[in-house]
Amino acid sequence: MSKYLPLFIVCISLFTQCVPPSEEKAQGVHLDFTNPTYQAVYDLKDRGQTDSLLSYFKNKDATLRYMAVIAFASIKDNAAIDSLAYMLGDPEEEIRIAAAYALGQIGDKRAEPLLLKGFDRSDTVGISKNINAAIMEAVGKCGTMKMLDALTSISSYRVTDTTLLEGQAWGIYRFGLRDSISLAGTAKMMDFATSSKYPNSVRFIGANYLSRMKKIELEKGDSILAPALTREEDYRIRMCLAIALGKTKTERATNALLLQYNVERDYRVKCNILRALGNFDYETVKATVYNALSDQNIPVAITAAEFFVDHGVATEASTYWEIAKQPGRKWQVAMTMYAAASKYLPYGFEETRKYLNWEIKRRFENADSPYEKAAALKALGQYGWNYHYIRDAAYPSEFVVVRTAAVEALGNIAKMPNFNAFFGGGNTARRELAECLQDAITTGDVGMMAVAAEVLRDSTAKFKTVFDSVSVFENALKKLRLPQEIETYNEVKLTLDYFKGEKSAPTKPKFTHKIDWKIITDLKPGSTVVIKTKKGNITLDLLPDQAPGTVSNFLELIKDKYYNGKNFHRIVPNFVAQGGCSRGDGYGGPSYAIRSELPYLHYDQEGYVGMASAGNNTESSQFFITYSPTPHLDGKYTIFAKVIEGMDVVTKLQIGDLMEEVTLVEPKS
């Protein structure tokens, strides 16, 4: 047994102190949101009425206790820490687990010793495995480095102790997301990820750690990761091992990734291999990436094009340009290659630059799709002197997507690492860019305002030296509507604080949208939602027991035909397809916000449907569908549905594709 394990049992000898004064037998938790009493308690959570929720912690009804406890996982109120710790001794296991999860969600280090009191070290037959696993994961969200060492050092679990190993792995993963990293923790996760003796679920968590964490040392891990990638059958794990192998930056890793790419059949793994190849010698990997530009799977081709934007060379700028012009090339790939050509074309090639700029501008002016226009602006933004054209041509556009993209392009110019050298000192250009961004703030366009505010406070852009009109931000805040424009409001507020040298908490949206419980009570078991697109139908299974408020809101919007004609405005290969924005640029939605609903779920598969968010309780209409597991989103973004048919359609979606019709389909009687 580990010498550090006693850290998990500090003050645990009086475990019964945590048990509520109840002698009744376990009743079980049975959620039923057709029950008016359960609806009323859930409404307390929705309104954030924490004192009233706490009063249910001693209720005889186990379901009511559970509902009150799990509510704090979404509310995240650190004033409830002691009360939640008390519930770690509840007779019901589901409630103990909910209490541990809620304590982790709050993320306060004061919860660490309280969680440890709930850890059952005397369990030798697995009775407490579920709560012990939940406590280990929760500790990963709030614990100290000393606790990371203790968690990592546990070596008494057998390979058949799946639940406990998952808890240990999730705990180390959650520490990693907080940039709490140790060599021993990384070694443990390397073992989990690459050793076939462990269950898939454990290897999945270990592999995600190796892929996701930026500050880990994997330079000597190629001899383990390379063969593990080759033999791995689970695409979810292969995806992560490919990224991890790329971090080793060795010749063995290069060869293993190139070999795997040639035999790989899952497009998501191929995308990750292409991303991983960015860590290696350009000449060695470029042939594979060039070939990938013609892949029939558009996400693969786009990822290949993005490789050249991120890792291209000046000597091949003309090649990127030629590829961009090739007939039949999908515009998403072509415009990305134009961006690569624009970025790497040497500064001295003035005549060539003139023709390249002319060509991209024509693409911008002649494109039918506003998203293609936006991509052209991104390409133009790779060359600093285009900022006048970007402002003059795109700010007056009838398309909000184009206007927002224009400010993003100006932001890329402002953040150029060689800004001063490129502009010969840079003061004049910086001042004029500041004026362009100020103009964006004063337009009243929430997308332009949000992006401009973020750019202006970026310390690398050094706008403090040329911009001191803080009244611009003060006036903008007065005109923004809450809660529907909360994201832009907080962006502008952050920038105002930056220029004033102050720091204030983000504004939190007030309760504005009551749950329509009739929608939930009328929802027939087996009902689904169908999203009709030109590429096929996507069928969603709703999760009303996990997120009744979100499901109610979703169905309310469907009934109002809100989603009909809306597009998927954001497509990120291997990550998400996002839609439901009234503007089409990610800054639009209804005139209200709903509450976050964050029960103990993991984004551990493809096809989860979650709510887009700009912070807790800021959701409204925008949702996303995951292409692959995204466990870094756990506990932050509401999961309210799952794709059960049409995942192949989701993989074919491209930015701008429309939801022609979204309908609720009831089961046939």
Its CATH class, for the domain covering 5-156, is mainly alpha
Q: Please give the DSSP secondary-structure letter assigned to residue 92.
A: S
Return d(Cα 649, Cα 539) in angstroms, integer. 10
The DSSP-derived string for 243-270 is HHHHHH--HHHHHHHHHHHHH---HHHH
Element (H, E) at 17: none
Q: What is the pLDDT of residue 308?
A: 98
Identify the CA nearest to 209 among candidates 239, 182, 173, 236: 173
Identify the CA nearest to 192 among candidates 212, 171, 211, 166: 166
Q: How many CA atoms lie within 13 A of 596 on its CB side?
A: 25
Contact 292, 273 (CB under 8 A): no
Query: Rounded to two decimals, what is the model's pTM?
Result: 0.94
**Sheet of 576-579, strands arranged across:** 568-572, 576-579, 623-626, 608-611, 639-645, 536-542, 528-533, 661-665
Identify the CA nearest to 601 among candidates 592, 615, 611, 593: 611
Q: What is the pLDDT of residue 59?
A: 97
Q: What is the pLDDT of residues 441-490, one digit of tens each?
A: 999 999 999 999 999 999 999 999 998 889 999 999 999 999 999 999 99
Amino acid of residue 521: T
Residue position matching structure tokens 């799946």? 162
Residue position matching structure tokens 């709030």? 142
- Architecture of the domain spanning 517-665: Beta Barrel (2.40)
Contact 218, 204 (CB under 8 A): no
Return d(Cα 617, Cα 596) in angstroms, integer. 5
Q: What is the pLDDT of residue 124?
A: 79
The DSSP-derived string for 423-453 is TTT-HHHHHHHHHHHHHHHHT--HHHHHHHH
Element (H, E) at 470: none
Q: What is the pLDDT of residue 468?
A: 83
Low-confidence ranges of the chain (pLDDT < 70): 1-26
| Cα-to-chain-centroid distance, residue 308 | 24
Q: What is the pLDDT of residue 14?
A: 30
Q: Please give the DSSP secondary-structure letter assigned to residue 223.
A: H
Does the CA dihedral 437-439-442-444 come out positive or negative? negative
Q: How many CB atoms lie within 10 A of CB 444?
A: 11
- What is the CA angle 450-453-458, rounded to 5? 130
Q: Which residues pair with 533 in a beta bridge?
A: 536
Strands (E), 271-423: none
Q: What is the pLDDT of residue 669?
A: 72
**Hey, what's the torsion of the CAs at 57, 63, 66, 71, to 10 degrees?**
-100
Q: What is the pLDDT of residue 12?
A: 34
Asked if 5-156 and 517-665 have one fold, the answer is no
Q: What is the pLDDT of residue 24?
A: 52
**Hey, what's the torsion of the CAs at 349, 350, 356, 358, to 10 degrees?**
180
| Cβ-proximal residues to 56 (8 Å cutoff; 6+ apart), any chain | 41, 64, 65, 67, 68
User: Where are the chain's structural domains?
Assistant: 5-156, 193-292, 293-362, 383-507, 517-665
Does the CA dihedral 266-268-269-273 come out positive or negative? positive
| Cβ-proximal residues to 108 (8 Å cutoff; 6+ apart), any chain | 78, 81, 142
